Structure 1
Amino acid sequence: MTYQEKKSIVSLISVILIFGFFCLYMYPQHPEGGLQSTETFRYWGSFVLVLTLVSIVAHIVISIIFNIIFRITTREKEPAFADELDKFIELKAHRNSFFVFILGFLFAMGSLVIYQPSQAMFMILIASGFLSDVTGSITKLYHYRKGI
């Protein structure tokens, strides 16, 4: 298995674990008030902001740990450059990831148009962010395994 495949697998697993544990952490803090209360908006706003920060920090830490473990176990350095294939696969992964997020964004805005509670919009946005990250990792793994 190549470095890029291993990195994609670690990224996929870390995305799922970070999101899952964060949701389990935040679920008990959900306010009991009405659907349109300011506490509900505060909860969802903090959910998105804290999830973004936690996700960025966790991905950086996991990437560093992955590179250390990779170097210790294989005695190889991380590839210092990305060739044309790596860049092309990265572009495909970004395209698919952005497509999933934009689709989720449109569904979230559509939920407001059809008079769904604002909580539905936040849940759809958060889920589409998660699914877009998973889609990007799976796309990379698929193309490194099967080729372009």
Structure 2
Amino acid sequence: MTYQEKKSIVSLISAIFIFISFCLYMYPQYPEGGLDSSETFRYWGFFVLTLTVVSIVAHIVISIIFNILFRITTREKEPSFADELDKLIDLKAKRNSLFVFIIGFVTAMGSLIFNPWSQIMFIILIASGFISDVVGSLSKLYYYRKGV
């Protein structure tokens, strides 16, 4: 298994772990008020912003730990360059990820038209962000295994 495949698997597992653990941490803090209270909006705003920051920091830390462990176990350095194939795979994976997120964003905005509860919009946005991250990692793994 190549370095890129291992990195994609670690990225996939870390994205799932970060999202599930953060949701389990935030679930008990859901406000008891009405569905459209200002406290509920504050909760969802805090949820989205905090998830974004925690996810970025955790991915950086996990990437550093992965590179250290990779170097210790294989006694190889991580590739210092990306050839055309790596760049093409990265672009295709980002395309797939952004496509999923854009569909989720449009669905979230459409939910405001048909659904009176705005919490559905936040849930769809958060879920589409998570699913797009997973799709990006799975796309990289697929393209490295099967080719472009």
- TM-score w.r.t. the length of structure 2 is 0.99
Give the residue type in structure 1 aligned to 2:67. N
- Once residues 116 and 80 of structure 1 are traced to their aligned partners in structure 2, the CA distance between those partners, rounded to angstroms, is 51
- Once residues 65 and 78 of structure 1 are traced to their aligned partners in structure 2, the CA distance between those partners, rounded to angstroms, is 12
- Report the equivalent of 1:75: 75
- Once residues 99 and 115 of structure 1 are traced to their aligned partners in structure 2, the CA distance between those partners, rounded to angstroms, is 24
- Pairwise mapping of residues 1-148 of structure 1 onto structure 2 (< 5 A)? 1-148=1-148
Any stretches of 5+ residues in structure 2 without a counterpart? none
**1:87-141 alpha-carbon deviations (Å, 9 max, x no partner):** 0000000000000000000100000011331000000000000000000000000
**1:30-84 alpha-carbon deviations (Å, 9 max, x no partner):** 0010011000000000000000000000000000000000000000001000000
Report the number of matched residues.
148
- Once residues 115 and 128 of structure 1 are traced to their aligned partners in structure 2, the CA distance between those partners, rounded to angstroms, is 18
- Once residues 75 and 45 of structure 1 are traced to their aligned partners in structure 2, the CA distance between those partners, rounded to angstroms, is 44
Any stretches of 5+ residues in structure 1 without a counterpart? none
- Once residues 25 and 37 of structure 1 are traced to their aligned partners in structure 2, the CA distance between those partners, rounded to angstroms, is 21
- Once residues 123 and 131 of structure 2 are traced to their aligned partners in structure 1, the CA distance between those partners, rounded to angstroms, is 12
- Once residues 119 and 56 of structure 1 are traced to their aligned partners in structure 2, the CA distance between those partners, rounded to angstroms, is 24
Aligned sequence identity (%): 78
- TM-score w.r.t. the length of structure 1 is 0.99
